[in-house]
Structure 1
Amino acid sequence: MSTIASSLIFPAIASAQDIKIALITGKTGALESYAKETETGFMMGLEYLTGGKMEINGRKIKVILKDDQSKPDMARTLLAEAYGDDRVDLAVGTTSSGAALAMLPVAAEYKKILIVEPAVADAITGDKWNRYIFRTSRNSMQDGLAAASTIKGGGSIAFLAQDYAFGRDAVKAAKESLAMVGSKANVVHEEYAPQNTTDFTAAAQRIFDALKNKPEPRILQIVWAGPNPMNKLADMKPERFGIALAPGGNILPVMKTWKNYAGTQGTIFYYYDFPKNKMNDWLVSEHTKRFKAPPDMFTAGGFTAASAVISALSKAKSSDTEKLITAMEGMEFDTPKGKMNFRKEDHQALQAMYHFKIKKDQKNEWDLLEMVKEIPASEIPVPVKNKR
Structure 2
Amino acid sequence: MRAKNYFVGAAFALLASGMASSAMAQAEIKIGEINSYSLLPAFTEPYRKGWQLAVEEINAAGGINGKKLVVISKDDGGKPADAQTAANELVSSEGVAMLAGTFLSNIGLAVSDFANQKKVFFLAAEPLTDAVTWSRGNKYTFRLRPSNYMQAAMLVEAAAKLPAKRWATIAPNYEYGQSAVSVFKKLMSEKRPDIQWVDEQWPPQGKIDAGPVVQAVAAANPEAILNVTFGADLVKLVREGNTRGLFKGREVVSFLTGEPEYLDPLKDETPEGWIVTGYPWYSIKTPEHDAFLKAYQAKYNDYPRLGSIVGYQTIKSAAAILAKAGSTDPEKLIAAAEGLSVGSPFGEITFRKIDHQSTLGAYVGKTSVKDGKGIMVDSSYKKGSDYLPSDAEVEKLRPKD
Range into which the TM-score falls when normalised by the shorter chain: 0.7 to 0.9
> Could you tell me how far apart the structure 1 residues matched to 2:101 and 2:177 are?
19
Contact 1:275 1:337 in 2 (8 A): no
Q: Which residue pairs with 2:325 in the alignment?
A: 316
Task: Decide whether aligned partners of structure 1 residues 54 and 194 sit closer, same or farther in structure 2, where only a CA change above 3 A counts.
Answer: farther
1:267 and 2:276 correspond? yes
Q: Which residue pairs with 1:156 in the alignment?
A: 166
Q: Which amino acid aligns with 1:124?
A: V
Per-residue deviation, 1:239:
4.7
> Could you tell me how far apart the structure 2 residues matched to 1:185 and 1:372 are?
26
Task: Decide whether aligned partners of structure 1 residues 182 and 276 sit closer, same or farther in structure 2, where only a CA change above 3 A counts.
Answer: farther
Task: Decide whether aligned partners of structure 1 residues 262 and 225 sit closer, same or farther in structure 2, where only a CA change above 3 A counts.
Answer: closer
1:77 and 2:54 correspond? no
Aligned residues: 367
DSSP-derived class of the 2:281 partner: coil
Question: Please, which moves more after superposition, 120-129 or 252-261?
Answer: 252-261
Per-residue deviation, 1:275:
4.1
**Which of these two proteins has the greater Rg computed from alpha carbons?**
2
> Could you tell me how far apart the structure 2 residues matched to 1:145 and 1:183 are?
16
Contact 1:238 1:244 in 2 (8 A): no
Q: Which among 379, 383, 389 is matched to residue 376 of structure 1?
A: 383
Q: Which residue pairs with 2:263 in the alignment?
A: 255
Q: Which has the higher helix share?
A: 2
DSSP-derived class of the 1:107 partner: helix
> Could you tell me how far apart the structure 2 residues matched to 1:89 and 1:181 are?
44
Per-residue deviation, 1:18:
1.2
Q: Which among 175, 183, 187 is matched to residue 185 of structure 2?
A: 175
> Could you tell me how far apart the structure 1 residues matched to 2:239 and 2:338 are?
42
Amino-acid identity (%): 22
> Could you tell me how far apart the structure 1 residues matched to 2:75 and 2:211 are?
35
Q: Which residue pairs with 1:387 in the alignment?
A: 399
Task: Decide whether aligned partners of structure 1 residues 146 and 231 sit closer, same or farther in structure 2, where only a CA change above 3 A counts.
Answer: farther
Structure 1: segments with no counterpart, 5+ residues: 1-10, 213-217
DSSP-derived class of the 2:171 partner: strand
Provide, for residues 81-106 of structure 1, a one-character-per-residue CA deviation record: whole Å limited to 9, x for no partner: 11122111011021221111111122
Q: Which residue pairs with 1:134 in the alignment?
A: 142
> Could you tell me how far apart the structure 1 residues matched to 2:287 and 2:159 are?
32
Task: Report the RMSD for the aligned CA atoms in angstroms.
Answer: 2.4
Contact 2:34 2:73 in 1 (8 A): yes
Q: Which residue pairs with 2:12 in the alignment?
A: none
Q: Which among 24, 35, 45 is matched to residue 25 of structure 1?
A: 35
> Could you tell me how far apart the structure 2 residues matched to 1:58 and 1:236 are?
60
Structure 2: segments with no counterpart, 5+ residues: 1-20
Per-residue deviation, 1:75:
0.5
1:335 and 2:308 correspond? no
Contact 2:280 2:375 in 1 (8 A): no
Q: Which amino acid aligns with 1:336?
A: P
Q: Which amino acid aligns with 1:377?
A: G
> Could you tell me how far apart the structure 1 residues matched to 2:252 and 2:239 are?
10
Task: Decide whether aligned partners of structure 1 residues 207 and 14 sit closer, same or farther in structure 2, where only a CA change above 3 A counts.
Answer: farther
The aligned runs of 1:54-93 (5 Å cut-off) are: 55-93=63-101
Per-residue deviation, 1:173:
1.6
DSSP-derived class of the 1:350 partner: coil
> Could you tell me how far apart the structure 1 residues matched to 2:247 and 2:142 are?
42
Provide, for residues 211-258 of structure 1, a one-character-per-residue CA deviation record: whole Å limited to 9, x for no partner: 35xxxxx21121113221223212211255x32333333442531325
Q: Which amino acid aligns with 1:88?
A: V
Per-residue deviation, 1:61:
0.9
Using the size of structure 2 for normalisation, the TM-score is 0.84
